[in-house]
Structure 1
């Protein structure tokens, strides 16, 4: 490999890593946006997807990109996009239900099991090898997550149903892992905008009947309510998921799934500021361990 080629590859890898960090921050705001919404969980989830569709299309247009017609894709990629869209709809549905039943911190903690699911699946499905340094980083990050989970919530208002919320969060993590694995294979042949547009459109269509059937109303009662839904769609979905999809083209799937751990730290801090969910010194130490684990994993995949 030439020096120029090596430099280009390194720059792309660095840019992808920065995109992944940005994705973690943007998606970390999603549970707080969802908590601020005045609509039922599935209605909020639907608007997150529906409002993101035109936002993604506009972003592709403004950046000079183009959406690849489905007819030009290989049949196997079309099927993977369809399944990815359905998996993401299930992820969003269970994720929003989890936030409504337990604390934001607990929901994000349990959803951060995605790296375990993805890493193990990547070994069997894609033949990825987990380097010892990566395993060490993952262990440090998960140790931080575990220590954080052992802390009492300390919330002023007790969550409606922590057990049910935990189950929903784990289901969301499982479906998001499936989504990651599916789009990782398609990302090698299609652009970020193409994948985001089609999977989001499919997810919105899949979510619509469930949101209509299970939500008391589909109309927000205030301008602030609609702005919250726009933030959820544009910042957390179009921005966060778009950056993550871009990163998948340059980073191993197992490392990209670490975004969920950073999301936990961001969500916890924002929930502390907005909803007074406690953020103690042990919690801060746990967050530091999570970020340290992410950095170690980064070094392992760059080696």
Structure 2
């Protein structure tokens, strides 16, 4: 007569080869009904034992308390200068447990007036450089670079790449009530046409009116970003959008959140303003969770800065955009970026 030892407490094991027609020792079989109460465990001597209590215990355990893999790598963020720090700020607030590394390409700013093919080359160099820094995700925190290079970066890099245009386009389509949306952006972003393509893909009935704003970035980076010249420029660029009766405006440059009060004053409360920073931070959070590459929620993240320009100038200007302390800034040469591509 066959005698079996009483089953010992269950633990996760690697199943061995099953006997002919049987199941591996330690494996789980789901019955045809698929209900958890009918799951059984095959013991070491081949005796099936129902696991109703175990199934109920696991089902009642909050998902947040179950063990999850943690990815300690940093998130990479880049822009032509300091404008992308507005995106980084929202990421730091939304994901305080994640580490970030930010690269500002000050040596080649601004990107806005440059040909898209040239900007695409810059973005590919920076993307490859950040990937070599072992980041787990890259945020293209520049509307012009997103417009010029996002598909190429997503094809060439092994890590997820997020731009700032798609989150804004989606938010604008959801926000508009009369299906008339305005876009204020750099010349390069307007010429790229990605906002038109994305908005049309989301809702072909939405009319998008785009206006290039070449004066805004220099004014925002000046010593008096809230002066009369800035308000006058905003009113000039806003006029055709107000005449078109838009009820939602995409502020399609990462510099623009810094003068949010000026835009709110010019457009009034009846017009919804969509900023890339907030929408992109949500997209980063969702992507990390969906791909299960987030860091532990109980830790405090860190951030560091790289620039191709003058580290001192980056630090002084960057504090205004980040609105958080900026410590040491590392210098990266254009040769280093080129070598990584």
Using the size of structure 1 for normalisation, the TM-score is 0.28
User: Radius of gyration: which is bigger?
Assistant: 2
More strand by share: 2
**Greater length-normalized contact order (CA 8 Å, ≥ 6 residues apart):** 1
Using the size of structure 2 for normalisation, the TM-score is 0.26
More helix by share: 1
